[in-house]
């Protein structure tokens, strides 16, 4: 197997790598999905003048962004069991990555909300809409459109960072690559293919993001 | 209908309103005039508590709303329509959705009912062919008429206008004033801040001249324009009427 020509070798490992890539995408979608849910509320908390919302959300963002994702991942997977909380690897990964992503998405939403002209809120309140209704029906829909590009970038970043989940025994793309490497010793070829597979997912996404950015700069 | 009692408003050290008393009866059209910085906008914003008075009371139909909590203030705001100089339609919604949003989400009207109300309002304002246009596709005058329709769709008891034509090109001023005149003819209670003196003369049941944070003088258009009692009123009018 180690002397097999490249293309047949590639064909034999691609199904495994493909499965790994699927796992990577799944992990990323769920994590960023959690991140977006956290981010909507986090972003609103970050623009609030109420310290009960503002202070914890700021601490959350600073702590998460100021510490490595790997440390967060280990804390959830290896650290929580000592408190009697045992999580399966996938759950642990999704929790750690979701909370991590949430901090970045919070800041994205904060920026998006702040980018909407003050007049939109000012027009909504006299109509009897509450602050939360104005957020929901007026501010967030407009903010959401504007933050699609940075959200896309966050997705791309998380997709790459999800390779860290290989350290807690999740069979995502990186992990599968390393397992094949240790079986076949063809590190260079395998890891190159792994890298190209990441690129195959991220490149179309970044092109899409750039296209969206360009369209937005034209429309407003 | 609305009574303001001893309204003071301070922004930091700046005292913008200094003891304003004002009573607005149902069906009245009160026009507020005065130089820039007099506190006209601030006063208007105190009426629906967009600005909280530093002291004083706003009594809406016998109830002191300055003491209310946020939820109840929203309830009061439903009944007080407001139109600003800076026209802020909801950019992501078309004309129809701009107008029906609050009736649906605040009053709980069905889409059907809300659309019926909106359509007849918009048609009356000459916007029947713009129901599904987006704000960016409208002229300033059209946008302001949509803003008026949006406020009216809540079927308010009173309408507040803060220089609704000041941001408009001259040729669009008339279309907005005409819409407002139609409202006056319908008997709507209105408080209008404006520099359009001809319009003020024509529609006002009472003119209030404000300067320096308080009401200097008030009276019928005839009293104010033909023989103002106060020196400052005369000065202001001579400047504005050439
Ligand atoms: N939110 C605010 N913070 C600080 N100062 C304010 C605020 N709003 C208004 N002011 C100040 O209060 C004063 C009165 O403002 P206001 O807008 O009520 O005047 P106005 O009579 O409406 O003037 P204009 O004709 O220019 O619209 C001004 O000096 C203004 O700078
Ligand atoms: Mg003003």
List pLDDT tens digits, range B58-99.
999 999 999 888 889 999 999 999 999 999 999 999 999 999
Q: Distance between CA atoms of B37 and B214, rounded to whole angstroms?
A: 11
C-beta separation of B189 from B28 below 8 A? yes
A129: number of Cβ within 10 Å = 23
Average pLDDT of every residue of chain A: 94
Contacts of B88 in chain A (CB under 8 A): 117, 119-120, 122-123
User: Are the beta carbons of B90 and B146 closer than 8 angstroms?
Assistant: no
Rounded to the nearest angstrom, the distance between the alpha carbon of B218 and the centre of ligand 2 is 19
Bridge partner list, B8: B18, B55
A25 Cα to chain B: minimum distance (Å):
32
- Residue A219, pLDDT above cutoff 70: no
Q: Does A210 touch chain B (CB under 8 A)?
A: no
Q: What is the ipTM of this complex?
A: 0.90
Contacts of A117 in chain B (CB under 8 A): 88
Apex CA A36: angle with CA A105 and CA A54, to 5°?
55
The answer to whether B180 touches B161, Cβ cutoff 8 Å, is yes
Which ligand has the nearest atom to the CA of B51?
A: 1
Please state, in angstroms and rounded to a whole number, the distance separating the CA atoms of residues A188 and A190. 6
- Mapped onto helix, strand or coil, the DSSP state of residue B158 is strand
Which atom of ligand 1 is found nearest the CA of B12?
4
Q: State how far the Cα of B94 lies from the Cα of B146, in Å rounded to an integer.
A: 10
Pairing of strands B55-60, B63-64: antiparallel
Which residues on chain A are in Cβ contact (under 8 Å) with B114? none
Protein residues within 5 Å, CB atom, of ion ligand 2: B 41
Smallest Cβ–Cβ distance between B74 and the set A120, A128, A142 belongs to: A128
Flag if A127 and B84 touch (Cβ within 8 Å): no
Question: Three-class SS of residue B32?
Answer: strand
Q: What is the pLDDT of residues B99-146, one digit of tens each?
A: 999 999 999 999 999 999 999 999 999 999 999 999 999 999 999 999
B15, with CB counted inside 10 A (0-12, 13-18, 19+), is: middle
Question: Is the CB of residue B162 less than 8 Å from the CB of residue B41?
Answer: yes
Q: Which of B12, B20, B35, B39 to mutate to test the pocket of ligand 1 (most atoms within 8 A of CB)?
A: B39
Q: Is A76 helix (H, G, I), strand (E, B) or coil?
A: helix
Q: How far is B137 from chain A (nearest CA, A)?
A: 12
For residue A146, pLDDT over 80 is answered with yes
**In chain B, which residue's Cα lies nearest the Cα of A220?**
B136
- Do A127 and B106 count as a contact with CB atoms less than 8 A apart? yes
Q: Is the CB of B145 under 6 A from ligand 1?
A: no
**A199 vs B109: CA distance, rounded Å:** 51
pLDDT tens digits, one per residue of A98-128: 999 999 999 999 999 999 999 999 999 999 9
Is the CB of residue A158 less than 8 Å from the CB of residue A97? yes
Is the Cβ atom of B127 under 6 angstroms away from ligand 1? no
Q: What is the mean pLDDT of residues B211-229?
A: 92
Helix (H) or strand (E) holding B178: helix B170-185
Instruction: Tell me which residue has its CA closest to atom 26 in ligand 1.
Output: B36
Tell me which chain B residues have a C-beta less than 8 angstroms from the C-beta of A133: 105-106
Q: What is the pLDDT of residue B198?
A: 92
Distance between CA A98 and CA A89 in Å, rounded? 14
Instruction: Tell me the best of B38, B54, B236 to mutate to test the pocket of ligand 1, counting ligand atoms within 8 Å of each CB and taking the most.
Output: B38
Question: What are the CB-based long-range contacts (under 8 Å, 24+) for B6-13?
Answer: B6/B55, B6/B56, B6/B57, B7/B43, B7/B46, B7/B53, B7/B55, B7/B56, B7/B57, B7/B58, B8/B53, B8/B54, B8/B55, B8/B56, B9/B39, B9/B42, B9/B46, B9/B51, B9/B53, B9/B54, B10/B54
Strand partners, B63: B60
B240 Cβ closer than 6 Å to some ligand 1 atom: no
Give residue B242's pLDDT band: very low, low, confident or very high (50, 70, 90). Answer: low
């Amino acid at each position: 197997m180690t002397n097999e020509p490249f293309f047949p070798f590639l064909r034999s490992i691609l199904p495994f790598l493909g499965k790994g890539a699927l796992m990577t995408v799944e992990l990323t979608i769920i994590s960023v999905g959690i991140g977006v849910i956290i981010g909507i509320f986090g972003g609103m908390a970050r623009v609030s003048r109420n310290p009960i919302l503002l202070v914890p959300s700021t601490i959350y963002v600073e702590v998460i962004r100021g510490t490595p994702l790997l440390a967060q991942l280990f804390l959830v997977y290896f650290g929580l069991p000592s408190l009697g909380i045992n999580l399966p690897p996938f759950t642990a990964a999704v929790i750690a990555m979701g909370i991590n992503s949430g901090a970045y998405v919070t800041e994205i939403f904060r920026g998006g909300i702040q980018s909407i002209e003050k007049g939109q809120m000012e027009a909504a309140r006299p109509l009897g809409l509450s602050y939360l209704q104005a957020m929901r029906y007026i501010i967030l829909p407009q903010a959401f459109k504007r933050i699609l590009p940075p959200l896309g970038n966050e997705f791309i970043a998380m997709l790459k960072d999800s390779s860290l989940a290989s350290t807690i025994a999740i069979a995502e793309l990186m992990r599968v690559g390393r397992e094949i490497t240790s079986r076949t010793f063809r590190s260079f070829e395998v890891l190159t293919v792994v890298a190209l597979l990441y690129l195959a997912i991220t490149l179309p996404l970044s092109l899409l993001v750039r296209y969206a950015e360009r369209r937005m700069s034209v429309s407003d | 209908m609305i009574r303001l009692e001893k309204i003071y408003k301070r922004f930091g050290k700046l005292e913008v309103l200094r003891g304003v008393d004002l009573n607005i009866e149902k069906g009245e059209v009160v026009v507020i005039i005065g130089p820039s910085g007099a506190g006209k906008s601030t006063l208007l914003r105190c009426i629906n508590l967009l600005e909280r008075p530093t002291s004083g009371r706003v009594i809406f139909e016998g109830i002191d709303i300055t003491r209310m909590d946020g939820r109840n203030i929203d309830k009061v705001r439903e009944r007080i329509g407001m139109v600003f100089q800076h026209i802020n339609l909801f950019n992501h919604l078309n004309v129809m959705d701009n107008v029906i949003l609050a009736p649906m989400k605040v009053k709980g009207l069905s889409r059907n009912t809300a659309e019926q109300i909106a359509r007849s309002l918009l048609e009356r304002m000459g916007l029947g062919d713009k129901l599904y246009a987006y704000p960016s596709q409208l002229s300033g005058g059209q946008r302001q008429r949509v803003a008026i329709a949006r406020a009216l769709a809540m079927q308010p008891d009173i309408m507040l206008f803060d220089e609704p034509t000041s941001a408009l090109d001259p040729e669009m001023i008339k279309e907005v004033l005409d819409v407002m005149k139609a409202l006056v003819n319908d008997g709507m209670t209105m408080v209008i801040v404006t520099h359009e003196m001809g319009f003020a003369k024509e529609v006002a049941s009472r003119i209030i001249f404000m300067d320096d944070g308080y009401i200097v003088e008030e009276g019928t258009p005839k009293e104010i324009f033909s023989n103002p009692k106060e020196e400052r009123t005369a000065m202001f009018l001579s400047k504005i009427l050439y």
